[in-house]
Amino acid sequence: MRERMRVFVLAGIGALVIAGCAESRQPGGSVMGNTNWLTQCDEDGDCAAGLSCVCGVCTRECESSSDCDGLAGAACESGAQLASSGTAACETPSVPDVCLPMCSSQEECGSGYDCVGSRCLPVAEEPRAPSNVELGSQACGPAGAYASVNVQPDAECNVATEGNDELAIGFYDISSGFNGDSNGCAAPYRLNMLVHSCLNGEGDTLQIHSAEVRLTDSEGNMIVFDRLEPSLPNPFLVTTTGVVAPMEGSTPSRAIAVVEAIPTVYAKELGDFADQKVLAEIQIFGTTVGDTDIAFRELTYAIDICDGCLTIDFCSIPEGTPLDEIYGEGVCRDNASADGRFCIDYACRP
């Protein structure tokens, strides 16, 4: 993944200098139109030759993008995206890496597919957040509140409960953490979590105040952060904010809660996880204005860790390139080098 992201960075810079030279990818019609690739399935027999049923869809397991040869526009990607896409039941995000079509817009995916985090994923038969959730239902749980997905800020860094891209998996460049504040890219990995409340009584306005985060490897083993004195705690408690109004009718109310899932000091100790996944197990806590404590249902979110894949060396940028046209420059510095937003490292300048 690290190599793919570097290629993407260089390609993005080249596009600024020589506009219109790259061919647009069209995974929609050619890839999914004449085969049953990425269609929903129950078993391998439902899929075409060379494909298997992984997490409820027909695709191909892979270790590198070369394993996806013959599937136009495909790259080897984390299977955790299928696990969280809602297309089928998956017990955990720890599913095999699979071939997925890449995309930069919804139009490239075609009917029946969504462009989520630059990958075409099948539209679930049921919406990810059910629109008819009653108090005490499976989605809200006994406490009546839950968190569902990570929401990506738009180009102006705004985050809303409707209209923003929903990320199936995160990307975090820890090189900014290693370099401290010298390059201006150091920032914690934050999730803009979409939270829901099914509480509908008087005094049920919910004030979110904190979240417990537990960081594990892809197998669910707790990571030990003991390179500093004293050792860093895991799990740990972080402060967050957000206000969720009571539910009206049968549709859960929504809000955004920002959770610092990987503080910068923790990023400095994740060097052994470059090009691997880290799982953030998150439980949000809040209190209603009626003074009732609410513990949200726990959510597990997968984050791909890289070292340098989202950071651009200023001296490698062709002279004359407008920096304000490079995606991520000057935008959302609270989450620099995360989830596709590049950060420019000016350390090479005299």
**Position 18 pLDDT exceeds 50:** no
Alpha-carbon span 227 to 104, nearest angstrom = 39
Alpha-carbon span 177 to 189, nearest angstrom = 10
Which range among 175-179, 284-288, 336-340 shows the weakest confidence by mean pLDDT?
175-179
pTM of the model: 0.60
**CATH numbers and ranges of domains, the chain:** 2-122 (no CATH), 145-305 (2.60.40)
Please compute Rg for the chain using Cα positions.
21
**Position 334 pLDDT exceeds 70:** no
pLDDT digits (tens, 9 = 90+) for 95-146: 678 888 888 777 777 777 777 767 777 765 433 333 333 444 456 767 788 8
Alpha-carbon span 112 to 21, nearest angstrom = 29
The confidence score (pLDDT) of residue 15 equals 38
The confidence score (pLDDT) of residue 239 equals 94
Using the structure block, give the residue that is written with the tokens 């880290």: 278
Contact 322, 16 (CB under 8 A): yes
CA 153 to chain CA centroid, nearest Å: 12
The confidence score (pLDDT) of residue 281 equals 93
Residue 255 has phi, psi (to 5 degrees) of -160, 175
Which range among 52-66, 78-92, 145-159, 244-258 shows the weakest confidence by mean pLDDT?
78-92
The confidence score (pLDDT) of residue 14 equals 40
Which range among 12-21, 56-65, 231-240 shows the weakest confidence by mean pLDDT?
12-21
The confidence score (pLDDT) of residue 90 equals 56
The confidence score (pLDDT) of residue 297 equals 82
Confidence band for 91, pLDDT divided at 50, 70 and 90? very low
